[in-house]
């Protein structure tokens, strides 16, 4: 499973580079690879963090000598790591609730490590040394995601569309302004649609004020 984890990590890095250069299907590739990692950490953490291969999951001989504290820490660490990875994915994809997932995962991870350290300091220390690179990598990603704003990511993703960025920044300053919402929507469509698609969109009911209000909430016009 460690080899699979390494392969997925490389795919995540490749998909991030693709996303930075606006290459099609980067988001889908990123989501799929991170989702597999989340499943591995959450449901197979007991094996992965203790260095047990998936094929040997039902062979009790491979669990001999592994303290219960290490197994318990692996379970908690797997759940916490999975939650942090979920939050990081949400942040990169600009989905809501990323901070909540990262903070919750960090708390679960920290509590798991502290409890097992108290229960068995020696065995837990060995366990942490085995997984130190994994823990540090996930921690750095989680902390970085908390300090990077959504608008910073949007400026990176859409650096070739300054008018859209200006309209989006104005919307952030005036989220209750229907005019700001309308301007942002128009500039977004100009940036990502062909001229024919834009003309069709402007004639469609999706571009009306009532449609925009449904999408962005009910703004009070200033």
Could you report the per-residue pLDDT of 98-149, keeping only the tens digit for each? 999 999 999 999 998 888 777 777 777 777 788 888 889 999 999 999 999 9
Q: Which of the pair, 221 or 38, is modelled with greater confidence?
A: 38
Confidence of residue 221 (pLDDT cuts 50, 70, 90): very low
pLDDT at residue 63 is higher than 80:
no
Question: What residues contact residue 5 under an 8 Å CB cut-off, 6+ apart?
Answer: 37, 40, 48
Q: Residue 218: what pLDDT?
A: 58
pLDDT at residue 181 is higher than 60:
yes
Question: What residues contact residue 124 under an 8 Å CB cut-off, 6+ apart?
Answer: 69, 70, 73, 113, 116, 117
Once rounded to an integer, what is the mean pLDDT over residues 81-88?
96
Confidence of residue 219 (pLDDT cuts 50, 70, 90): low
- Phi, psi of 173, rounded to the nearest 5 degrees: -80, -25
Cα 213 from Cα 208, distance rounded (Å): 9
Cα 18 from Cα 36, distance rounded (Å): 19
Q: Residue 65: what pLDDT?
A: 73
Q: Residue 112: what pLDDT?
A: 86
Q: Identify the burial level of 220 via C-beta atoms within 10 angstroms of its C-beta, where 0-12 means exposed, 13-18 middle and 19 or more buried.
A: exposed
Lowest mean pLDDT among 3-17, 37-51, 63-77: 63-77
Three-state DSSP state, 160? coil
Q: Residue 104: what pLDDT?
A: 95
Residue 7's alpha-carbon distances to 2, 12, 140, 147, in angstroms, are: 9, 9, 20, 27
Helices 162-173 & 150-157 angle (0-180, nearest 10): 160
Q: Which of the pair, 9 or 175, is modelled with greater confidence?
A: 9
Cα 4 from Cα 70, distance rounded (Å): 22
8 A C-beta contact, residue 201 and residue 207: yes
pLDDT at residue 62 is higher than 70:
no
Helices 68-92 & 132-147 angle (0-180, nearest 10): 30
Q: Report the predicted TM-score, pTM, of the whole model to 2 decimal places.
A: 0.83
> Which percentage of the chain shows pLDDT scores above 70?
95
Lowest mean pLDDT among 72-76, 114-118, 216-220: 216-220
């Amino acid at each position: 499973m460690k080899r699979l984890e390494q392969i997925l990590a490389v795919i995540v890095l490749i998909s991030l580079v693709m996303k930075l250069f606006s290459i099609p299907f980067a988001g889908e590739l990123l989501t799929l690879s991170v989702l597999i990692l989340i499943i591995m950490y959450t449901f197979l953490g007991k094996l992965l963090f203790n260095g047990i291969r998936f094929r040997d999951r039902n062979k009790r001989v491979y669990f001999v000598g592994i303290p219960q504290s290490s197994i318990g820490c692996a379970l908690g660490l797997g759940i916490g790591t999975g939650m942090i990875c979920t939050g990081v994915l949400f942040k990169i994809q600009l989905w809501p609730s990323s901070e909540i997932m990262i903070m919750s995962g960090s708390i679960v991870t920290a509590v798991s490590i502290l409890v097992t350290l108290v229960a068995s300091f020696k065995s837990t220390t060995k366990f942490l040394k085995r997984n130190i690179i994994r823990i540090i990598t996930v921690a750095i990603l989680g902390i970085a995601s908390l300090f990077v704003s959504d608008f910073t990511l949007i400026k990176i993703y859409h650096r070739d569309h300054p008018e859209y960025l200006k309209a989006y920044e104005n919307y952030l300053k005036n989220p209750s302004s229907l005019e700001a919402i309308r301007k942002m929507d128009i500039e977004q469509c100009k940036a990502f649609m062909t001229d024919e698609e834009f003309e069709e969109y402007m004639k469609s009911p999706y571009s009306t004020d009532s449609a925009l209000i449904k999408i962005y909430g009910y703004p009070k016009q200033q």
